[in-house]
Amino acid sequence: MTDHSTAMHAPESLERCPLMPTYGPPTTMFVRGEGSWLWDDDGHEYLDFLSGLAVTGLGHAHPEVAEALAEQARTLLHVSNLFGTDVGWRVAVTLDRLLGGGGQVFFANSGAEANECALKLARKFGGRGRHVVVSAFGSFHGRTLATLHATGQPTKHEAFQPLPEGFRHVAWNDLDALEASLDPSVAAVLLEPVQGEGGVNPATTEYFQGVRRLCDERGILFMVDEVQTGLGRTGEWFGFQHFGVVPDVVTMAKALGNGVPIGACWAKAEVAAAFEPGDHATTYGGQPLATAAARAVLAVMEREAVPDRARAAGAKLTAELSSLPNIEEVRGLGLLVAAELHGLTAPSVAAAALARGLVVNAITPTAIRMAPSLLISDEEIEEGVHRLAMAMDDLADEVVP
Ligand SMILES: Cc1ncc(COP(=O)(O)O)c(C=O)c1O
């Protein structure tokens, strides 16, 4: 048996670990969550500053989402997209309104699938010979072959060559580099408002406005990947709303289901019109259980003005973190934050934090990422930063001046 299944307490009698080795062995097994808190199988309590990688925006076990899921499970789980149901279209209407209107939605099951829809839409919209998608170095767009190639991290590509043709990468936040890459074969530009997996690096307003202008001048689609940043995380409903631009295509996932797998690709109606029946599909996309979760999530977020709360909580978290001695820089938007460390490595700080009952992750070798529940209280922020300070004190002997 491998360490992986041992860590998950699988029976010793198993011949081999039943899970493929795509992740390292987990150090902790969580059995319960509530709001910003998690409990492991030994009953230890943790403050969750990661939300399952920016997914549980309303915290764990949100009662309204749980009730919506239970009610939908008792009513109707799935019939396929060959038939109508009465939940998904309501979610699409709400998303369209939050995005400024005039668009249409395709529901998927994950972020990569939402992006796959955007990539196919760009090709169908552009037509033969105009199919290239330009994205940025340091970006992350998913792990399917196409979204992996859109991901601007060449080290992740190598083992899977040859990847689908038609992807190009340019320096992040560099408008000249982008402009130089735009030839007549380009159908779309795909960017994150904040590069999340790439180290929590926000776009600048000038960059996003410049990209919008270039795309308009050349009839190229501006597609924004809001899989990590969407639904209040950055202190606006969508990250691009910080920059005063409106994209042609927006993808989202993570927080939309608060832990229930769902993704969505929104496009302006004149762009979405490039798709015809049969062009794209997925068995589960928009099915009642996932969209019931999304409907409940959006209702809570609207009622409680969650993006505003995230903006205020993000400012508090940033201020508290900035006062810690081993933190050199705090960057991000709203409640998507990275702390650049001084003299300590991120994996060791993340491990020490876990031992002190705080969940964060090492997003680069020198930076930890925090993406707590958007409903986190001021007291929980203070407690989490206190735990982080204790974790860094625990590593005092390891500090490299
Ligand atoms: C910006 C962005 N796009 C796409 C993805 C892929 O989403 P998923 O893992 O749900 O396929 C992620 C995941 O972290 C992401 O952060």
Render pLDDT for 135-192 as a digit per residue (tens, 0 to 9): 999 999 999 999 999 999 999 999 999 999 999 999 999 999 999 999 999 999 999 9
Could you report the per-residue pLDDT of 244-294, keeping only the tens digit for each?
Answer: 999 999 999 999 999 999 999 999 999 999 999 999 999 999 999 999 999
**Residue type for 36, please?**
S
For the chain, give percent helix, strand, coil, nearest 5. Answer: 40, 20, 40
Q: Give the residue from 215, 166, 223, 221 showing the smallest Cα distance to 192.
A: 223
**120 catalytic per annotation:** no
Write the residue with the smallest CA distance to atom 7 of ligand 1. Answer: 111
| Catalytic residue selected from 107, 140, 208, 240 | 140
How many angstroms does the Cα of residue 390 sit away from the middle of ligand 1? 31
Q: What angle do CA 50, 51, 56 make, to 5 degrees?
A: 160
Distance 198 CA to ligand 1 centre (A): 11
User: Which letter, b or e, does each residue of 150-164 get, where b requires 16 or more Cβ atoms within 10 Å of its Cβ?
Assistant: bbbeeeebeeeeeee
Task: With beta carbons less than 8 A apart as the criterion, state whether 174 and 210 touch.
Answer: no
Closest ligand 1 atom, residue 263 Cα: 10
42 is catalytic: no
CB 253 near ligand 1, within 6 Å: yes
Q: Ligand 1 centroid vs 243 CA: distance in angstroms?
A: 21
**CA-to-CA distance for 224 and 191, rounded, in angstroms?**
5
48 is catalytic: no
Residue having the nearest C-alpha atom to atom 9 of ligand 1: 111
Instruction: List the catalytic residue out of 208, 225, 240, 268.
Output: 225
Cβ–Cβ under 8 Å, residues 372 and 311: no
175 Cα distance to chain centroid: 24
Is ligand 1 within 6 A of the CB of residue 228? yes
127 CA distance to ligand 1 middle (Å) = 26
List pLDDT tens digits, range 280-291: 999 999 999 999
| Length of the chain measured in residues | 401
What per-residue confidence (pLDDT) applies to 213? 98
Q: Which atom from ligand 1 is nearest to the alpha carbon of 226?
A: 1
Average pLDDT of the chain is: 96
**CB neighbourhood size of 110 (10 A):** 19
